[in-house]
């Protein structure tokens, strides 16, 4: 037998079916349970090893194939979260039934089987219990083979208070009252064969939307009482996306019902438990008449993403955690397809450019990582839930899809899913299926993107009828390392010549290549459609031609890429800040919401980098770009405008009042907000966040208390987080301190506090206080917050743009390592380094 890693389970005994019976106590926050597992002993053994953590095991018995019962003893291995069950005789190969009785706690760390408390409609605190098992926390709820490759069937029974609702992955078979106990037994049907991390139990008071039929099964949205009216929007996209996927994949939804459940305390955005998807409230519950378009898009995205997982992840699952990207990149890619089909007017693939840019920001660092890398310990999988897995992964899949053609790509996916249904697969299996169905060299192409970190900068120059295209690694900080790296780059060319426009797709595998045309090109677009995961650097002559014909030669998403690539080149020192701002000056007539989004993000970054005197001058210049754009749209909605235009209005007003610090806009925002307080219909929903941003940026104690009260009494999850996170934008030191206190006082849910803290670190006028607070409260934060939130909170350190704060941050993380996010911390520090470096480089700006 190969040498066994201590944290991996032996494969000599495998589970086939679990019967799990749990009795949670929502008063004392604990539970008791019993599990009967049908196992196959494949090789003779005296002991069985499986996973368990934070559980007390009470009795262990094993029924032999002949019916005889053996009593076993359990020895816990806390370090590896395993338990070794020893028996008085050797277990010879065959089918056994393993029974374990155990007890555990409903913890407050938002993983395993955990507690959640919320205020009921009567104002009283109400208890609820939910689960979050991915990656490796099923073992905190019941002893199990807690690795994705040990797929099995689960039959769950929950014993709960009579008045409560119990939900699990499959439909309810029967509910029986248990006499004189005030309790009932809820028995659920068998699940499909699946991995432990997808098992779910939820117990509490719930109300649901009326079930709709989606792909032949009932679909409901469930929430704690008083909120079910916020579930209709999610039910609509839930149904639409489930039907979209069943059609796209050519395979029916694998479950027997689908519940989308909002949980008041939730560590991530949502979790794809088969048939019982759990969400944080902001990602599921929304009032479509009050929420902004961006907030609605977020709900549509997350619901579609989780539904996509029912096939990609649940039906076919990665063999081990190194393949997590297969699940997540695909679900992210599929979420775009479904939302784009549902609401084409949102132009979802265009706004995906914003996500792609976020991934390129991290992937342009030396401290980036490949999409797929070896994962040894399961705990290392925790570090994989980041923009590289989700957004870079989805971007390279989109690039591949566009290169192969949408139908060819889909056919390959169908083959892959059919071949590995109810089982596990690895990245290589996907390339096999795509190569088989498309006959294209998918593996060589994709290996260069999946197993290599970073991405190329494509340089383009023209010489007569020839254009020369070359690739080299893009880095914000160039130190000459990894310069030998090359990618298989799908180039999507659009070339303007005297006799018309030529479109051409080709694969650049070499360092450089010449392409000859019949006539000399007037202009060239290398990444047409902006599907490519690379940046483009045009020669001055070609750039001049493109800028002259910006609105004619380039689509909106291509203008996005031009601005975003130029900003990245500016941060990297390849383009001067003056040159970048000249491009911005030219963009005042821009009408696309995403192009503006990337410009506005760069303004915020400049605000963190430049000193006060520099920034004051820059703000005037930004005003001259933003004010005409706001004037063109006006402050009120026109009846003939689309949702994206309304969103753009909000974004521009917010930027004018905050980053451009425009007094007139600030005054007008105050007037509008007081009207909004009297009549919430008086201001367009897409403008409200801009008013809140401006009032928190400029306001004092009056606005602070107003916003705090609105946070506490919010009627929708979106309102609640809008006013909560606005508290991070005040500048008065006393108010900053008040918000800092809130992050640990219990007044804010631990699912939100780390992000409030991140906002404070990113606030230029609060950053020093926030940083010293973080340092002194570090242990308490680590005790209170969910593990996955700590590295995300620390992203705020990219705002500490002074040489002293940077040194301090570096020292701090040397002595306070974040074990679940080593890579992310390294990346945050490098992003900070890039900004501090720019601060030094731009010291003379704009004085020269």
Contact indicator for 305, 328 with CB cutoff of 8 Å: no
Residue closer to Zn ion, measured from CB, 311 or 403: 311
Contact indicator for 131, 202 with CB cutoff of 8 Å: yes
Q: How far is the CB of 309 from Zn ion (least distance, A)?
A: 6
CB atoms within 10 A of CB 498: 9
Contact indicator for 300, 339 with CB cutoff of 8 Å: yes
HSE value, Cβ hemisphere, 13 Å, CA-based, for 291:
25
Binding span for Zn ion by CB under 5 A among 24-32, 320-328, 626-634, 696-704: 320-328
Residue closer to Zn ion, measured from CB, 331 or 766: 331
Whether the CA torsion 339, 343, 348, 351 is positive or negative: it is: negative
- Our finding on whether 156 is near Zn ion (CB under 5 A) is no
Rounded CA gap, 432 and 600, in Å?
43
Q: How far is the CB of 382 from Zn ion (least distance, A)?
A: 14
Residue closer to Zn ion, measured from CB, 146 or 328: 328
Q: Give me the 758-797 binding string for Zn ion, x by CB under 5 A, dash otherwise.
A: ----------------------------------------
Rounded CA gap, 594 and 554, in Å?
14
Residue closer to Zn ion, measured from CB, 310 or 460: 310
Q: What is the DSSP letter of 396?
A: H
- Our finding on whether 694 is near Zn ion (CB under 5 A) is no
Strands 153-161 and 13-25: parallel
Residue closer to Zn ion, measured from CB, 372 or 837: 372
Whether the CA torsion 509, 514, 517, 521 is positive or negative: it is: positive
Rounded CA gap, 812 and 548, in Å?
49
Residue closer to Zn ion, measured from CB, 318 or 805: 318
Can you list the pairs that 56-59 forms with residues at least 24 positions away whose Cβ atoms lie under 8 Å?
A: 56/102, 56/103, 56/104, 57/83, 57/100, 57/101, 57/102, 57/143, 58/101, 58/102, 58/103, 59/99, 59/100, 59/101
- Our finding on whether 284 is near Zn ion (CB under 5 A) is no
Q: How far is the CB of 328 from Zn ion (least distance, A)?
A: 5
Binding span for Zn ion by CB under 5 A among 323-331, 447-455, 516-524, 791-799: 323-331
- Our finding on whether 164 is near Zn ion (CB under 5 A) is no
Catalytic site positions: 306
Binding span for Zn ion by CB under 5 A among 134-142, 326-334, 599-607, 805-813: 326-334
Residue closer to Zn ion, measured from CB, 306 or 719: 306
Q: Give the binding-site size for Zn ion (rule: CB under 5 A).
A: 2
Q: How far is the CB of 331 from Zn ion (least distance, A)?
A: 4
Structure tokens at 448: 């260069």
Phi and psi at 362, nearest 5°, equal -80, -35
Rounded CA gap, 173 and 2, in Å?
43
Binding span for Zn ion by CB under 5 A among 166-174, 325-333, 500-508, 811-819: 325-333
Give me the residues paired with residue 324 across strands. none
Q: How far is the CB of 557 from Zn ion (least distance, A)?
A: 24
Residue closer to Zn ion, measured from CB, 15 or 323: 323
Q: Which of 271, 266, 344, 356 is nearest to 307 (CA)?
A: 271
- CB under 8 Å to 595, separation ≥6 — which residues? 556, 559, 560, 563, 587
Cis peptide preceding 846, ω within 30 of 0: yes
Structure tokens at 447: 């290996």
Q: How far is the CB of 638 from Zn ion (least distance, A)?
A: 38
Question: Which residue is nearest to Zn ion, using beta carbons?
Answer: 331
Q: How far is the CB of 407 from Zn ion (least distance, A)?
A: 25
Binding span for Zn ion by CB under 5 A among 126-134, 237-245, 329-337, 713-721: 329-337
| Gyration radius of the chain's alpha carbons | 28
Residue closer to Zn ion, measured from CB, 331 or 606: 331
Structure tokens at 409: 């790509």
Binding span for Zn ion by CB under 5 A among 109-117, 321-329, 432-440, 618-626: 321-329
Chain-centre distance for alpha carbon 405:
27
Binding span for Zn ion by CB under 5 A among 331-339, 457-465, 511-519, 527-535: 331-339
Q: Which residue has the tokens 């506005």?
A: 600
Q: Which of 370, 348, 536 is nearest to 459 (CA)?
A: 536
- Our finding on whether 331 is near Zn ion (CB under 5 A) is yes
Rounded CA gap, 744 and 728, in Å?
14
- Our finding on whether 283 is near Zn ion (CB under 5 A) is no
CB atoms within 10 A of CB 379: 16
Q: How far is the CB of 258 from Zn ion (least distance, A)?
A: 16
Residue closer to Zn ion, measured from CB, 328 or 432: 328
Q: How far is the CB of 201 from Zn ion (least distance, A)?
A: 20
Longest dimension (CA), the chain: 91
Residue closer to Zn ion, measured from CB, 283 or 629: 283
Binding span for Zn ion by CB under 5 A among 156-164, 328-336, 353-361, 428-436: 328-336
CB atoms within 10 A of CB 207: 16
Residue closer to Zn ion, measured from CB, 328 or 429: 328
Q: Which of 216, 243, 229, 233 is nearest to 283 (CA)?
A: 233
Collapsing DSSP states into helix, strand and coil, what is residue 30?
Answer: strand
Binding span for Zn ion by CB under 5 A among 107-115, 324-332, 363-371, 584-592: 324-332
- Our finding on whether 394 is near Zn ion (CB under 5 A) is no
Collapsing DSSP states into helix, strand and coil, what is residue 803?
Answer: helix
Collapsing DSSP states into helix, strand and coil, what is residue 86?
Answer: strand
Q: How far is the CB of 335 from Zn ion (least distance, A)?
A: 9
Chain-centre distance for alpha carbon 288:
22
Q: How far is the CB of 312 from Zn ion (least distance, A)?
A: 9
Whether the CA torsion 767, 770, 775, 781 is positive or negative: it is: negative
Phi and psi at 69, nearest 5°, equal -105, 130
Q: How far is the CB of 326 from Zn ion (least distance, A)?
A: 11
Q: Where does this chain bind Zn ion (CB under 5 A)?
A: 328, 331
């Amino acid at each position: 037998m190969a040498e066994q890693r201590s944290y991996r389970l032996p494969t000599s005994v495998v589970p086939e079916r679990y019967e799990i019976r749990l009795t949670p106590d929502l008063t004392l926050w604990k539970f008791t349970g019993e599990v009967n597992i049908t196992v196959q002993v494949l090789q003779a053994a005296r002991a069985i090893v499986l996973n368990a953590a934070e559980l007390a095991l009470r009795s262990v018995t094993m029924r032999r194939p002949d019916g005889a019962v053996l009593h076993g003893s359990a020895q816990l291995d806390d370090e590896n979260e395993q338990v070794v069950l020893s028996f008085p005789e050797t277990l010879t190969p065959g089918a056994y039934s393993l029974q374990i009785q155990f007890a555990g706690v409903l913890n407050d760390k938002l993983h395993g089987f955990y507690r959640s408390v919320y205020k009921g409609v009567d104002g009283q605190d109400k208890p609820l219990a939910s689960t979050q098992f991915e990656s490796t926390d099923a073992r905190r709820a019941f002893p199990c083979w807690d690795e994705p490759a040990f797929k099995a069937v689960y039959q769950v029974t929950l014993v709960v208070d009579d008045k409560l609702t119990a939900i699990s992955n499959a439909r309810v078979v029967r509910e029986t009252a248990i006499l004189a106990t005030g309790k009932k037994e809820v028995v659920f049907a068998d699940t499909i064969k699946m991995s432990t991390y997808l098992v779910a139990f939820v117990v509490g008071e719930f109300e649901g939307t009326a079930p709709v039929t989606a792909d032949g099964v009932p679909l409901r949205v469930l929430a704690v009482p008083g909120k079910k009216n916020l579930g209709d929007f999610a039910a609509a996209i839930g149904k639409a996306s489930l039907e979209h996927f069943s059609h796209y994949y050519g395979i029916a939804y694998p479950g027997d019902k689908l519940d989308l459940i909002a949980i008041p305390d939730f560590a991530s955005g949502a979790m794809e438990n088969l048939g019982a998807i759990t969400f944080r409230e902001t990602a599921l519950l929304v009032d479509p008449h009050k929420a902004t378009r961006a907030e609605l898009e977020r709900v549509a995205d997350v619901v579609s993403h989780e539904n996509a997982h029912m096939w990609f992840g649940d039906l076919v699952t990665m063999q081990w955690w190194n393949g997590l990207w297969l699940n997540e990149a695909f679900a992210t890619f599929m979420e775009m397809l479904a939302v784009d089909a549902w609401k084409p007017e949102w132009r979802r693939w265009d706004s995906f450019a914003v996500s792609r840019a976020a991934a390129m920001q991290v992937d342009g660092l030396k401290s980036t990582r490949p999409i797929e890398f070896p994962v040894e310990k399961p705990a290392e999988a925790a570090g994989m839930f980041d923009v590289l897995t989700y957004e870079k992964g989805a971007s390279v899949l989109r690039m591949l899809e566009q290169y192969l053609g949408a139908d060819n790509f889909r056919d390959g996916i169908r083959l892959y899913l059919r071949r590995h249904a109810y089982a596990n697969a690895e990245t290589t299996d996907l390339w096999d299926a795509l190569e088989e169905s498309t006959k294209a060299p998918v593996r060589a192409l994709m290996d260069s993107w999946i197993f290599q970190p970073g991405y190329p900068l494509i340089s383009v120059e023209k010489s007569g009828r020839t254009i020369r295209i070359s690739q080299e690694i893009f880095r914000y900080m160039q130190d000459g390392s990894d310069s030998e790296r090359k990618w298989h780059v799908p180039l999507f060319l659009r070339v303007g010549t005297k006799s018309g426009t030529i479109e051409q797709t080709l694969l650049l595998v070499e360092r450089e290549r010449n392409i000859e045309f019949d006539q000399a090109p007037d202009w060239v677009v290398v990444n047409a459609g902006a599907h490519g995961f690379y940046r483009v650097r045009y020669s001055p002559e070609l750039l001049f031609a493109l800028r002259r014909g910006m609105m004619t030669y380039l689509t909106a998403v291509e203008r996005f890429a031009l601005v975003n690539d130029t900003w990245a080149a500016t941060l990297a020192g390849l383009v001067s800040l003056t040159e970048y701002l000249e491009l911005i000056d030219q963009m005042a007539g821009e009408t696309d919401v995403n192009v503006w989004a990337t410009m506005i993000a760069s303004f915020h970054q400049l605000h963190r980098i430049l000193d006060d005197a520099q920034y004051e001058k820059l703000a005037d210049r930004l005003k001259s770009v933003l004010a005409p754009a706001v004037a063109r749209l006006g402050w009120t909605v026109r009846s003939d405008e689309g949702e994206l235009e309304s969103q753009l209005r909000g974004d521009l007003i917010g930027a004018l009042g905050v980053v451009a610090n425009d007094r007139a806009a600030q005054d007008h925002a105050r007037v509008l907000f007081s009207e909004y307080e009297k009549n919430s219909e008086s201001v367009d929903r897409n403008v409200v966040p801009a008013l809140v941003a401006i009032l928190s940026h400029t306001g004092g104690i009056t606005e602070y208390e107003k916003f705090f009260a609105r946070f506490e009494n919010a009627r929708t999850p979106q309102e609640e987080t809008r006013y909560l996170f606005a508290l991070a934008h005040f500048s008065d030191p006393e108010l900053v301190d008040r918000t800092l206190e809130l992050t640990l006082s219990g007044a804010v849910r631990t699912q939100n506090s780390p992000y409030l803290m991140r906002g404070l670190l990113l606030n230029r006028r609060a950053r020093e206080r926030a940083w010293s607070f973080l340092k002194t409260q570090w242990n308490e934060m680590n005790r209170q917050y969910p593990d996955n939130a700590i590295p995300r909170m620390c992203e705020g350190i990219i705002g500490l743009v002074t040489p002293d704060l940077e040194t301090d941050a570096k020292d701090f993380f040397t002595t306070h390592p974040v074990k679940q996010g080593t890579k992310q911390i390294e990346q945050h520090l490098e992003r900070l380094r890039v900004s501090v470096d720019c601060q030094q480089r731009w010291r003379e700006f704009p004085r020269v």
